[in-house]
Chain A
Amino acid sequence: MTKFKFLNADDFFNNLLTIILFFILIFLLVFSVLFGKINLIELLLSDKSNDVKELIRVLILEIRLPRTILALIAGFSLGICGAAMQGLFRNPLADPSIIGVTSSAGLGSVIIFYFGLANIFFFALPLGGIIGAIIAVMVIFFIIQSNVSTLVIILTGVAISSFSSALTSLTLNLSPSPYAAYEIMFWLLGSLADKNLNHVLMITPITVLGWIIIIFSKKWFTALSLGEETAQSMGLDLRIFRSKIIIGSALSIGSVVSITGGIGFIGLVVPHLLRPLYNYNPEKLLLPSGIGGAIMLLLADIFIRLLDINPELQIGVVTAIIGAPFFIYLIFYIKRIQA
């Protein structure tokens, strides 16, 4: 009797792939800290004075390290939340922004900019973003309590997004000085540059809490791919599961967006690229999507830093320029395999 031992082979291959992704990530993290426009090794070899050592310390600890950590947690959040949203909504076109959290977190931060609170109170900026995200989640949560269909949740997300975008535009419209408007505009484009390490360290626990909430509910993603009713008959409490995934994503994405601004398409593209390699298994896809998201964001960031363009390109612009055509390709590809 032939047995299907392929499962184990699949598991082996998947684990191996995840480990490879992990090592690529580690390599990129080190690379991102050590390499840039200024070659640290060259600098150190040419001059061993204390001034240079101090310069290198500042360069690593205050410029490159926050940037690298931010790329890591932002990319990981975008990737894992993208996979979670696609699993929850059973749709490859879903991404973290679909529940409206991205734009409401953006609005929260923009309001902080508008009132100039960021200069008065150190943690105002991330706090504003997180509060914005929480408001969006509360609206969605309220909707979920009345046992609605997935479509209603998506439509609510679209409504929250449009409303937040409109208010963001209004803020720009009313901004007190052209300089403030310029600052807000640039922030909205999404960037990892010039961020404060303390801001980054402040959001890290919140972001990681979001990841943990998602990872701990992972077994239900597979059940859900067989349909909501089937999953419920298999013991899933759909309302609780949805709440967990949406809150987890909001914590991660809201806190990240509050610092980076909008970085699009990572959450959409990364899970899609990795899915076939993990046999379309939505539960096995979560962790690799996180790692993949971090890899992709680090690559984009290193690319920007190595390009000699002034002022530096905004990372949100780069990911969108690459991501948008890919998105169109994705739509046609899905249409083709469905035909």
Chain B
Amino acid sequence: MDRVSLDIRKKNILSEINILFRSGVLTGIVGPNGSGKTTILKIIANILTTYSGSICYNNRNYKKYSRLDLAKKISYLPQEITIAWPLSVYNVIMAGLIPFPDKELNNKKKDKRVNSIIEELNLKKFALKSVNILSTGERSRVCLARALVGNPNFLLADEPVSSLDPYYQLNILELILKRVKSGMGAIIIMHDLDLARRFCDNVVVIRDGKVIFNDRPHISLDNKNLKEIFAVEYDGNKLILS
């Protein structure tokens, strides 16, 4: 089983973080705004490299992997996606295979991979259209396809569903869940606690750069924690201000 372990002592906003992520598990990261969730994700994605402590992938330190090797195994879906040029959906997804050199994956195989993910995520309709004319929901699905096309062992997603309507929220999460069931690990930052409860196998609660809870959703998100961390509570069927 693939695993990423995080042991961070200090990085201004984070302190004493120690988490283990496993493949085949959907981990949700929740916490108030500014608690350091995104920073954690960027460190695991190898974007932020100035931290003390160590991160290991399969018990081997990150620093011992090349950037490209990590990029092949761990893919990152940022919260805000601005694509500079009106690239076609096909080309955006193809860009997800940049970490793979031609020797490893020739153009024909790359084309095949892109086509199969277009099929999987039902993007055929607009495969050749420019991403700029798509709706936010459609674009999120394209970006998810870009992140998944390299068959990563871990997917890191920063609030992938926050700006979406209910249809796309469930659609995107179900697509991720399907991959998780076939062995991928997913680490997802979420704000919607109901969705976190429903989809995650594990929920990590972060506050002020510290891990408060790391357990199954119903334990991490029990009423006492909700009250303490988010100042809301669960009245049986909905969240209310406490």
Which positions in A face B, CB cutoff 8 Å? 1-8, 90-91, 219-220, 222-227, 229-230, 232-237, 275, 279-282
* Interchain CB contact under 8 A, B78 and A6: no
Interface of B is mostly: mixed
Q: A4-B111, A280-B130 are in contact. List 15 more A-B contacts (CB 8 A).
A: A1-B119, A6-B128, A7-B90, A222-B91, A222-B95, A225-B84, A227-B78, A227-B84, A230-B81, A233-B71, A233-B74, A233-B76, A235-B70, A275-B85, A280-B85
Q: Taking A1-B119, A4-B90, A4-B118 as contacts, is the C-beta distance between A235 and B78 under 8 angstroms?
A: no
Contacts of B86 in A (CB 8 A): 280
Segment at the A interface, from B27-35, B41-49, B210-218, B234-242: B41-49
CB distance from A166 to the nearest CB of B (A): 33
**B75 CB within 8 Å of chain A:** yes
* Interchain CB contact under 8 A, A219 and B98: yes
* Interchain CB contact under 8 A, B98 and A223: yes
* Interchain CB contact under 8 A, A237 and B67: yes
**B1 CB within 8 Å of chain A:** no
Q: Taking A1-B119, A227-B81, A233-B71 as contacts, is the C-beta distance between A279 and B95 under 8 angstroms?
A: no
* Interchain CB contact under 8 A, A233 and B47: yes
* Interchain CB contact under 8 A, B111 and A233: no
Contacts of B67 in A (CB 8 A): 235-237
* Interchain CB contact under 8 A, B46 and A232: yes
**B53 CB within 8 Å of chain A:** no
User: Which of A4, A222, A225, A230 is packed against the most chain B CB atoms within 10 Å?
Assistant: A230
State the CA gap A223–B115 with chains docked (Å).
19
* Interchain CB contact under 8 A, B47 and A232: yes
Can you list, as one digit per residue, whether each of B218-234 has a CB less than 8 Å from chain A (1) or not (0)? 00000000000000000
Contacts of B46 in A (CB 8 A): 232-233
* Interchain CB contact under 8 A, B98 and A235: yes
CB distance from A2 to the nearest CB of B (A): 7
> Would you list the 6 A-B pairs with minimal beta carbon distance, nearest first?
A233-B76, A235-B71, A90-B84, A280-B85, A235-B68, A235-B67
Which positions in B face A, CB cutoff 8 Å? 42, 45-47, 66-68, 70-72, 74-76, 78, 80-88, 90-92, 94-96, 98-99, 111, 114-115, 118-119, 124, 127-128, 130, 146, 156
CB distance from A63 to the nearest CB of B (A): 42
State the CA gap A35–B55 with chains docked (Å).
66
Contacts of A279 in B (CB 8 A): 87-88, 91
- A1 nearest in chain B by CB position: B119
Give 14 A-B contacts (CB < 8 Å), ordered by A residue.
Answer: A4-B114, A4-B127, A224-B84, A225-B83, A225-B95, A226-B95, A229-B45, A232-B47, A233-B78, A234-B71, A236-B67, A279-B87, A281-B85, A281-B87
State the CA gap A225–B92 with chains docked (Å).
9
* Interchain CB contact under 8 A, A235 and B91: no
* Interchain CB contact under 8 A, B45 and A233: yes
State the CA gap A83–B67 with chains docked (Å).
26
Contacts of B45 in A (CB 8 A): 229, 232-233
State the CA gap A237–B87 with chains docked (Å).
23
Contacts of A2 in B (CB 8 A): 124
State the CA gap A236–B71 with chains docked (Å).
9
User: Which of A5, A235, A236 is packed against the most chain B CB atoms within 10 Å?
Assistant: A235
State the CA gap A66–B84 with chains docked (Å).
39
State the CA gap A7–B110 with chains docked (Å).
11
Contacts of B99 in A (CB 8 A): 234-235
CB distance from A13 to the nearest CB of B (A): 14
* Interchain CB contact under 8 A, A230 and B76: yes
* Interchain CB contact under 8 A, B115 and A4: yes
